[in-house]
Amino acid sequence: MNQAEIKRRQAEAIAGILNLITIFILGNRMKGGGITYMAAAVSVCTLAGIAVSGSLADVLGRLLRSRRNKGQYRNILAMRKSAMLFHAALGLVGTLLLILCAGGIAEGIFRISCSRFIIMALAPVVLLRTVSCVIQGYFQGEAAELPRAVSGILRQIFLLGFGLLFGNILGSYGEKVGSLLREENFVPMYSCMGIALAAGLTEIFIILFLFVLFRGSRRSEKKLKQDGMYSGDSAWDCIRGFCMGRWPQFLTEFLLFLPLALGLAMYGRKAQETGTIFQYDVYAGRYLVVCGVLLSLASALALPVMGRIFLHFRREEGRLARTAFQSGVHICLVHGIFLSVYVAVMAAQIASLLGGEDSELVKQMLQGGSAVIAFASLSFFCFRFLQAMGRKYFLLGAVGAADVIFVITLTASAKTGILSLVYGGVAGTLALCAVLTVLSYRQLRMQMDWLSVLVLPAGAGGVSGLVCMLLGRLFTAEGGLPAILVTFVISGLLYWILLLVLRNFK
């Protein structure tokens, strides 16, 4: 993992934060049920997109770089063409299948009939995203990571702008139709359809942006056609290379995202009977947004360490590589523990700041599920390490086991309602964290320094949590942003001072 890839992943973390902010803003503008309707459609289309183009850009970039390093310039052109034609056809098939099966998926799996038309409106994104992934692979074949990083951020900016525009337009139309037919759910349904159309338009702009950049970088195209060797790879050889290269990474990505779709489907079946299906709006639009933003920040802080680890490996400095890995684990836990404790203690104030009528439910979710920040932060760090080391099947097995734990916990805690999704997420993430951490340490043939990496940060986090609790009692639950900022600064300073006094940093 080089510096360009690290910067690209940091940009992807920023794009992820912008995506969560977009969910929060657009979700607040929709009436009850909007996020739930949209979540069902996004879950299905995302899973279809992963099946069609998951890890495609990375695999295509790696194959193109290998051809370039061997001087097979003509083969690069053949591989580009084969990649675009094959995956565009695959994306088209995926889009058509989603459109044809939208009704069965919405009503049969999620029991949310209003998501049918949203799935149909969102289905073209599968094809468009596949095309953009292929073009991103072109750039990565030239060792250019910047276009992918910039396009990820632009995608969220365009989606927010177009989402607000089309969501308001179709939402107003849905209000008229709903009042005429006396159907309250038409307003959020039409708003979601507007956001789905905005997502498709956003992908079109991203493709145009990438295409213009790619055309501008093709000055050496004639050299590719005239110079270098030609090894005679057929279109079938290229397609087989794509499929073999994506296995099993795309399946691992599929299993990583599966709990979100599976959780909504399992919860939706029971919630329809009790009429609490729209509590999923609180789960996705409040709880996941808060934890996701903080998780993205904590994960991004540990990314530079990954570059140092593999720099030491390339220099055959195994001892320094192990030290750097230990420091990366320490960074993840130090930030993750503090953020988890802070969110749990200040849950009432955060819930009040987010607004809405379900602040008590948000509080319960944050108190019961904030630990996912620490677990997931370390999980992502170890996941990237094992991925860079080529341990693909280890990752597949670990993610599959975590999904099983998620389903078992979700089923066992079904009586708690929407909180079962929170508990299932914490249990699944904890299992994933434990397995990946053990595999990473075994890969490096080293043992964790439990005292400095886990015990001292946990103790300092407990002390800062007590101080934060005392400060929180000085403010009411409606203390707002000033109360949250004051307690964050004071408890954070105390936390870092304790770690420095205990000589937790070397």
- What's the pLDDT at 419? 94
- What's the pLDDT at 37? 92
What angle (nearest 5°) sits at the alpha carbon of residue 297, between those of residues 62 and 386?
40
Alpha-carbon distances, residue 417 vs 269, 315, 345, 422 (angstroms): 11, 53, 23, 10
Looking at residue 112, the DSSP 8-state letter turns out to be -
* Residue 144: Cβ within 10 Å count: 18
pLDDT averaged per 10 residues, the chain (length 506): 80 92 89 86 95 90 84 79 92 96 91 91 96 92 87 95 93 84 83 94 95 75 54 73 84 94 88 74 93 93 89 88 92 95 93 84 94 95 93 94 96 92 96 96 89 91 92 69 88 93 79
Looking at residue 416, the DSSP 8-state letter turns out to be G
- What's the pLDDT at 398? 96
- What's the pLDDT at 72? 73
- Tokens linked to 231: 């090894």
- What's the pLDDT at 221? 56
How far apart (Å, rounded) are the C-alpha atoms in residues 147 and 143?
11
- What's the pLDDT at 182? 76
Q: Contacts for 309-315 with beta carbons within 8 Å, 24 or more apart? A: 309/1, 309/385, 310/1, 310/2, 310/388
Claim: this prediction has a pTM higher than 0.85: yes
Torsion angle, alpha carbons of 48, 205, 4, 223, to 10: 100
- What's the pLDDT at 473? 80
What angle (nearest 5°) sits at the alpha carbon of residue 18, between those of residues 7 and 124?
100
Report yes or no: 369 and 389 within 8 Å, Cβ to Cβ. Answer: no
- What's the pLDDT at 274? 62
Counting beta carbons within 10 angstroms of the beta carbon of residue 21, is it exposed (0 to 12), middle (13 to 18) or buried (19 or more)?
middle
